[in-house]
């Protein structure tokens, strides 16, 4: 039995509808009729920086490093100054949750967490820490209370 792990089909949006090579798609999927479940996920392909943007980015790095050196600002001095960057869900995960999870549970990925037990341990530590330092307490979202969607994007 063949198993389908990943299939890339190039498509585009035209007039709000997905345009793709339907006969090709049917041919590919017909090879996997025995598969009990096929899940199709659409991902928007994001263009990476162009060669021109890459050169400009590296030119910026060069110009800034020259100016900082000419002004006498060494690495230690510049990094000792705080840069105001706002929180995003990704920074909360990477800067708060994941480091706490690694120390508390010795697990690198959130995909390895046990349903309640592991999540509760990490959540309790973070919520207590943030609460004590900043007076911010966030109740863990409850599906029953309608605080998040049944299906998530991740």
- Render pLDDT for 42-61 as a digit per residue (tens, 0 to 9): 777 777 777 887 788 888 88
| Residue 145 or 19, more confident | 19
Answer yes or no: is pLDDT of 82 > 70: yes
Which pLDDT score is estimated for 94? 93
Residues 10 and 13: their CA atoms lie apart, in Å, by 11
Alpha-carbon radius of gyration of the chain: 24
- Against a cut of 0.85, is the pTM above it? no
Band (pLDDT 50/70/90 cuts) for residue 69 is very high
DSSP labels for 18-50? EE--HHHHHHHHHTTTT-S-------PPPPPPP
Taking only the tens place, the pLDDT of each residue in 126-136 is: 999 999 999 99
Task: Reduce the DSSP state of residue 53 to 3 states and report it.
Answer: helix
Residues whose CB falls within 8 Å of the CB of residue 129, separated by 6 or more in sequence, listed in order? none
Tokens of 140: 């863990």
């Amino acid at each position: 039995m063949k198993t389908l792990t990943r299939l890339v089909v190039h498509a585009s949006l035209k007039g709000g509808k997905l345009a793709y090579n339907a006969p090709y798609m049917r041919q590919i999927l017909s090879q996997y009729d025995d598969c009990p479940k096929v899940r199709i996920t659409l991902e928007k392909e994001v263009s990476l920086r162009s060669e021109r943007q890459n050169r400009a980015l590296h030119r910026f790095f060069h110009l800034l490093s020259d100016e900082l050196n000419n002004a006498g600002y060494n690495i230690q001095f510049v990094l000792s100054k705080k840069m105001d960057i706002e929180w995003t869900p990704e920074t909360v995960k990477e800067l708060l949750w994941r480091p706490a999870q690694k120390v508390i549970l010795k697990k690198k990925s959130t995909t390895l967490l046990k349903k309640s037990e592991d999540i509760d341990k990490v959540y309790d530590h973070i919520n207590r820490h943030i609460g004590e330092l900043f007076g911010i307490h966030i109740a863990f979202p409850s599906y029953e209370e309608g605080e998040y969607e049944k299906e998530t994007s991740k």
